[in-house]
């Protein structure tokens, strides 16, 4: 089953999306984990996390974004311009960072120049950068506006009952993924970082009911699985978006196992549950906006450092790889502070800047990781 998750994680579309479309149901792409999947699911649609996996050129992305900017949104735009996202019935973009915010305007302009590349439903969501009473109220208004726009465009009704059912389903999946994190962090970890990443990634691209069913089976099998560590060093990967299994594989081929991470395509996406007893829209606003693990959220550095330290202790980490996509100001700046504070606690760290997408820098990355592994040997 993990092999199937790997296949899903390695392509833009997959057989589940194809069957979903063939049944006449809509697929909605979204750019960031601050956008609630539950709202899309409650509308009877498939939430699909946008990725730039498999890009081989940036000719379109560079045209609209320019060269000096994060390559993640450029890869998404490249695929959209090439027609890889024509299966989408809609897309939601938000201000995760300034580069991702620009994906909204660049995709709209590319849609004028490349016919058929812009989904008919295209929505921009503003998400605050602070967690306060007034910002939660503002975000709840944004979610209401989002719901109204979906209902109007697609002719559907998102009821409170449907939202509660979706919240319950997604909470079940998050609880299972938290159990997976606990297994990874254990002394006898039964799963490699590459396989764990594949399991998590598949959840962004599959119907949730089917994903949760398969995830439950995987967790059950892992409870009886033998350990994979074999004396290898226990590593943690922190920082920018990574949805490339090859990157994790390359790290593990150097003699370690990634037993923990705090990436948004990784463990930090499912760390919090939604309050099932509160009003569903208010509960969603609180859960998603209170998700402080991303450096886009102001004033939460101490909480993020504390979370990393907690994971380091739980997983008995030997070394931390602080990686960021080139030109990522948020993660690049914060990784420097993480390195200072973690090294002061005696925790070996390595900072690495890389491009998103195909590992064109494989040799350089491997050399850096090999040197780091020698340091912590």
Average pLDDT over all residues of the chain: 95
Torsion angle of the four alpha carbons 64, 54, 269, 184, in this order, in degrees rounded to the nearest 10: -150
DSSP state of 128: -
- Look at the domain 16-160 and name its fold: Rossmann fold (3.40.50)
- For residue 128, the model assigns a pLDDT of 97
Chain-centre distance for alpha carbon 108: 23
Shortest CA distance to 80 belongs to which of 22, 15, 31, 149?
Answer: 31
Closest residue by Cα to residue 202 from 217, 212, 191, 190: 212
pLDDT grade, residue 364 (50/70/90)?
confident
Share of the chain above pLDDT 70, in %: 99
Tens digits of per-residue pLDDT, 303-315?
A: 999 999 999 999 9
pLDDT digits (tens, 9 = 90+) for 61-87: 999 998 899 999 999 999 999 999 999
- Measured in degrees and rounded to the nearest 5, phi and psi for residue 91 equal -150, 145
pLDDT at 327 over 80: yes
pLDDT score of 150 more than 60: yes
Q: Among 137, 147, 27, 141, which Cα is nearest to 91's? A: 27
Q: Are 185 and 260 in contact (CB under 8 A)?
A: yes
The per-residue pLDDT for 183 is: 97
Backbone angles phi, psi at 320, to 5 degrees: -120, 130
Give the model's pLDDT for residue 360. 62
Helix H or strand E segment including 309:
helix 301-315
Q: Return the pLDDT at 115.
A: 85
- Burial class from Cβ neighbours inside 10 Å (0-12, 13-18, 19+) for residue 366 reads middle
Contacts of 176 (CB under 8 A, 6+ apart): 212, 215, 216, 219
Token pair 């929505």 is at which residue?
123
Confidence class for position 292, pLDDT limits 50, 70, 90: confident
Residue ranges per structural domain of the chain? 16-160
pLDDT of 9 above 80 = yes
**pLDDT (0 to 100) of residue 2:** 92
Tell me if residue 327 falls in helix, strand or coil.
coil
Task: Scan for tokens 């290898």, then name that residue.
Answer: 232
User: So what's the pLDDT on residue 358?
Assistant: 59
Q: In this structure, what token pair is assigned to residue 81? A: 């311009």
pLDDT tens per residue across span 179-233: 999 999 999 999 999 999 999 999 999 999 999 999 999 999 999 999 998 889 9
The C-alpha atoms of residue 365 and residue 373 are separated, in whole angstroms, by 12
pLDDT at 1: 81
Q: What is the pLDDT of residue 291?
A: 83
User: Which whole-number Å values give the CA distances from 315 to 6, 26, 149, 279, 376, in the listed order?
Assistant: 24, 40, 43, 35, 16
Whether 359 shows a pLDDT value over 90: the answer reads no
318-338 mean pLDDT: 96
């Amino acid at each position: 089953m993990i092999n199937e998750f790997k296949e899903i994680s390695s392509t833009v579309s997959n057989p589940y999306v194809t069957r979903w479309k063939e049944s006449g149901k809509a697929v909605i792409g979204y750019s960031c984990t601050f956008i609630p999947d539950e709202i899309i699911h409650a509308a009877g649609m498939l939430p699909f996390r946008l990725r730039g996996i498999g890009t081989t050129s940036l000719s379109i992305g560079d045209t609209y974004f320019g060269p000096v900017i994060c390559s993640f949104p450029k890869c998404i735009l490249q695929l959209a311009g090439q027609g890889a996202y024509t299966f989408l019935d809609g897309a939601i973009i938000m201000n995760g960072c300034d580069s991702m915010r620009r994906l909204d305007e660049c995709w709209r302009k590319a849609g004028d120049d490349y016919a058929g590349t812009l989904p008919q439903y295209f929505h921009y969501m503003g998400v605050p950068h602070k967690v306060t009473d007034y910002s939660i109220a503002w975000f709840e208004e944004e979610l209401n506006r989002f719901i109204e726009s979906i209902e109007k465009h697609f002719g559907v009704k998102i009821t409170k009952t449907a939202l509660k059912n979706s919240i319950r389903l997604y909470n079940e999946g998050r609880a299972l993924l938290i159990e997976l994190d606990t297994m990874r962090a254990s002394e006898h970890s039964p799963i490699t970082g590459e396989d764990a990443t594949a399991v998590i990634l598949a959840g962004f691209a599959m119907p949730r009911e089917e994903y949760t069913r398969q995830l439950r089976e995987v967790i059950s099998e892992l409870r009886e699985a033998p350990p994979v560590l074999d004396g290898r060093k226990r590593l943690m990967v922190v920082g920018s978006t990574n949805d490339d299994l090859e990157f994790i594989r390359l790290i593990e081929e150097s003699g370690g196992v990634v037993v923990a991470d705090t990436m948004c395509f990784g463990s930090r996406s499912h760390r919090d549950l939604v309050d099932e007893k509160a009003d569903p829209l208010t509960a969603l606003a609180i859960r998603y906006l209170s998700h402080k693990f991303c450096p886009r959220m102001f004033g939460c550095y101490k909480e993020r450092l504390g979370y990393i330290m907690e994971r380091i202790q739980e997983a008995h980490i030997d070394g931390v790889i602080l990686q960021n996509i080139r030109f990522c100001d948020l993660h690049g700046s914060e990784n420097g502070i993480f390195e200072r504070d973690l090294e002061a606690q005696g925790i070996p760290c390595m900072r690495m800047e890389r491009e998103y997408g195909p590992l064109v820098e494989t040799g350089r990355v491997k050399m850096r990781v090999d040197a780091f592994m020698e340091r912590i040997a």
